[in-house]
Amino acid sequence: MTTRLVLQLELPADARLLPRTRKAVSGYLEDVGAEPDDRADVVLALDEACANVIRHAFPNTVPGTIRLRAEIGHDAVTVQVEDDGVGFDALAATRRVSGPEDTSGRGLQMIRTLMTTVQLESPTETGGTRLRMQKLLR
């Protein structure tokens, strides 16, 4: 029997909620037998994606909403993080390479290093950003 878990959350873009979100995803990964290094990679990528939403998606308004969907199986985990914020130029972000003196802008590069595949759409049809990332598990 293959185990597949789906976790769907809609939460305010508030950093205080990230520790429990990380813990939930990590716990489910542990439950399906994911290796500690794979769990750490997924949780770090998730944390960076959510932190980017909190920092950048709602600059001039009351914080909006993060929609998170994680599909967790024995061989892979797919995480989608979506917001309805201001969006950004995804093509420029994909081309951008951060230098050692940069204090920000490394998040997407880090996510791409940690995960097996990364798809970024911004702006979406509603104007926000959608990040879909997958990690093949050992």
Query: Alpha-carbon distance 24 to 115, whole Å?
Result: 19
Q: If you write DSSP's letter for every residue of 90-125 in order, what string do you get?
A: HHHHHH----TT-SSS-HHHHHHHHSSEEEEE-S-T
pTM: 0.87
Average pLDDT of the segment spanning 95-123: 78
**Domains of the chain listed by start with CATH number:** 4-136 (3.30.565.10)
Beta strands in 13-138 (DSSP E): 65-73, 76-83, 117-121, 129-136
pLDDT tens by residue, 21-76: 999 999 999 999 999 999 999 999 999 999 999 988 988 767 799 999 999 998 99
Phi and psi (nearest 5°) for 10?
A: -130, 115
Query: Alpha-carbon distance 23 to 29, whole Å?
Result: 10
Percent of the chain with pLDDT over 70: 86
**What pLDDT shows up at residue 40?**
97
- Contact at 8 Å (CB) between 38 and 25? no
**What pLDDT shows up at residue 103?**
46
